[in-house]
Amino acid sequence: MSVDMRTYLGHVELANPVTTAAGCAASGSELAQFFDLGRIGALTTRSITMAPRAGRPTPRMAETPSGLLNAVGLQGPGVDAFLERELPWLAQRGVKTVVSIGGGTVAEYTALARRLTDAPGVTAVEVNLSCPNIEDRGRVFARDGAASAEVIASVRSVMRYEVPVVAKLSPDVLDIVSVARACVDGGADALSMINNPLGMSIDTEAMRPTLAAVTGGLSGPAIRPLAVRCVWQVHAALPSVPIIGMGGVLTGRDAFEFILAGACVVAVGTALFHDPYACLRVLRELEELLAARGFHRLADAVGLAHRPPGASTRHRIDLEESSL
Amino acid sequence: MTGTVLTTRRVDAYHALTVVAPGIAERFRPGHFVGVAVGGPNTSMLTRRAFSVHDVKPDYGGTVEFVLSPRGPGTAWLAERRARDTLDLVGPLGRPFPLPRDPVTCVLVGAEYGSATLFTVADALQRRGCRVDFVLGAASADRVFGALRARRMGETTTLTTEDGSLGLRGRVTDVLPAVIADVRADAVYACGPMPVLRGVTAVAVELGIPVQVAVEERMACGIGVCMTCVLPVIGEDGVTRMVRSCVEGPVFRGERVRFDDVGTIPFDALGAPGGGTRHVG
């Protein structure tokens, strides 16, 4: 029995709910050597910045228990090279592309969004709000609902109406629901969570921080419970907003957990470093899990864990018949 | 892909693992490396370990052998593998060594178990009629890898150890100028820790001969997506870029790698903070 894996990001239909996480698929061509990128729901680019960026010094990576600390620092060729080479390459292959953008000021995000407006092949724009806000003493945008909302509103105002704007949230906040709500009020069509929480590791041989940048973003299964909690809370508060869930998805079961918590798209990140075929494997395993539990449509499983305790799984039938 | 361990053996201070992996063996060229998952399917160790391939043989459809030095929990786990265990490998990865078109004289320099990479290179060079000379070194005799094989393959083999327990006392870079002069070398191939590559490059540049180095940078993915194994390399256009040693390397022309700036972002690198190449938004 096959399961209808189609899902919607805003009003954009994706063939299936698996995408890559921002910063984990480079320009796409690296992964294309391993599998056909057209088979995943969408590919999310690394965060594109206005100017080329050399990133942070090495060492940029430290392995931690079930996790990975990284401090790459948004290395990339800048928006010109992206529009000239990378995006057309993806567009030619018909890959649905979610373009992640990063900037230090609201004006920079807006300028980036404007550059993407006329570019063919942009399926959605994901706004990486975990960049330091140069105008606010380096405070990260995502930590502040108002600053996040300002960026989102500005990007939304210049982006073509049919391109959804996705706000990527950081878990390093007191109340992720309030930041999520501010972004939606600012015009976000969807939310994506979670970005890497900050972590640190110390090399006990050298007795120095392991990363050149001292702190880095923690990813991998170590953060999955944190990510599932964020998706759960935000879906409970804003049930109609599409959520891209991510954080330590290694298997179809992990993806299913995010979907039950309320995500309608699931991004695979660190798993790609371990297994270049992870996206297709996660997709296959997820479909098998859904089929084994009697689901005909992926959509029926989205947020299902929110049903009241005691409700039987037959509840699903009611959902199918409801307007959801 | 999954490969079955065929043999595992100790080689002095190191471990060598031979794995049946026809897909990798078939496409292998000298300088390629493999990414090996460690710790089993439910491990908490997420990153693959990268190993340069020491040997490729046609047995069982194709085997690859790589050499490791048990240092952390991942390499310790690999060192414990036994025949018939399975391993999860990705490869062949990276860019191989470019080989000269004409039969020339090449000095192959290896430090520690970096020399493991050199034997497939030597083989390929000899098949093209090149003369091959080895310079191998390490801190002590038990850490010099492949001395016997080098003696069999090379026209000459010069060994160095820092404690003087084997060959000449000192480092490979101490003897390299004399070897290059003696054999009238046309090119140098080197593999080993970064400080050694830096020294070897300095010698080759001084003597005006081309040098190819296979760098050792820590990698998380090996396939070019994680962006963690970068180092500053000068491009054809003279512009320094932070390039990935896994896909743009691991083999580089020695003089193009800014060894003194490894671990930093040089101020003149493309996209360096405050650098001259910043675009105006």
* pLDDT per position as a tens digit, A64-95: 999 999 999 999 999 999 999 999 999 999 99
Task: Look at the alpha carbons of B268, B271, B276, B277 in this order and tell me if their dihedral is positive or negative.
Answer: positive
Task: For residues A7 and A283, give the distance between their C-alpha atoms in angstroms, rounded to a whole number.
Answer: 13
Output Rg (C-alpha) for chain A, integer angstroms: 19
Q: Mean pLDDT over residues B239-251, rounded? A: 93
Distances (CA, A) of A222 to A226, A227, B45, B156: 8, 10, 11, 52
Quote the CA–CA distance of A267 and A248 in Å, as a whole number. 9
Q: Please write the tens of the pLDDT for every residue from B215-233.
A: 988 888 999 999 999 999 9
Give the residue extent of every domain in chain A: 7-306
pLDDT digits (tens, 9 = 90+) for B53-74: 999 999 899 999 999 998 889 9
pLDDT at res. B36: 94
Say yes or no to pLDDT of A295 above 70: yes
Cβ within 8 Å, pair A276-B90 = yes
**Digit-coded pLDDT (tens) for A100-140:** 999 999 999 999 999 999 898 999 999 999 888 888 888 89
Q: In the structure, what pLDDT confidence band is assigned to residue B279 with cuts at 50, 70 and 90?
A: very low
Q: Which residues contact B81 (CB under 8 A, 6 or more apart)?
A: B5, B8, B17, B87
Q: In residues, how long is chain A?
A: 324
Per-residue pLDDT at A118: 87
> For the residues A291-300, what does the mean pLDDT come to?
95
Cα end-to-end distance, chain B, whole Å? 45
CA distance B49 to chain A (A): 10
Identify the residue among A45, A63, A105, A112 best suited for mutation to test binding to B, counting B beta carbons within 10 A and taking the highest: A63
**Complex-level ipTM:** 0.87
Amino acid type, B45:
M
Tell me which architecture the domain covering A7-306 has in CATH.
Alpha-Beta Barrel (3.20)
In sequence order, the 6+-apart residues with CB closer than 8 A to the CB of B208 are none
pLDDT greater than 50 at residue B44: yes
pLDDT-derived band at A1, boundaries 50, 70, 90: low
- What mean pLDDT do residues A180-205 have? 95
By CB atoms closer than 10 A (0-12, 13-18, 19+), residue B126 is: middle
Task: Work out the average pLDDT over B32-49.
Answer: 92
pTM of structure: 0.90
Residue A241: closest CA among A198, A287, A186, A290: A186
| Residue in A closest to B261 by C-alpha | A57
- Going by C-beta distance under 8 Å and a sequence separation of 6 or more, which residues neighbour residue A113? A101, A125, A154, A155, A158, A159
- Is A131 labeled as catalytic in the residue annotation? yes
What average pLDDT is seen over chain B?
A: 91
Distance CA A166, CA A226 (A): 20
The mean per-residue pLDDT over the stretch A157-170 comes to 94
Chain A residues whose CB is inside 8 A of the B220 CB are: 61, 63, 68, 70, 273
Of A26, A66, A76, the CB nearest to B46: A66
Mean pLDDT for B124-141 is 93
Domains of chain B: 2-93 (2.40.30.10), 105-214 (3.40.50.80), 218-280 (no CATH)
pLDDT tens digits, one per residue of B70-106 = 888 999 999 999 989 999 999 899 999 999 999 999 9
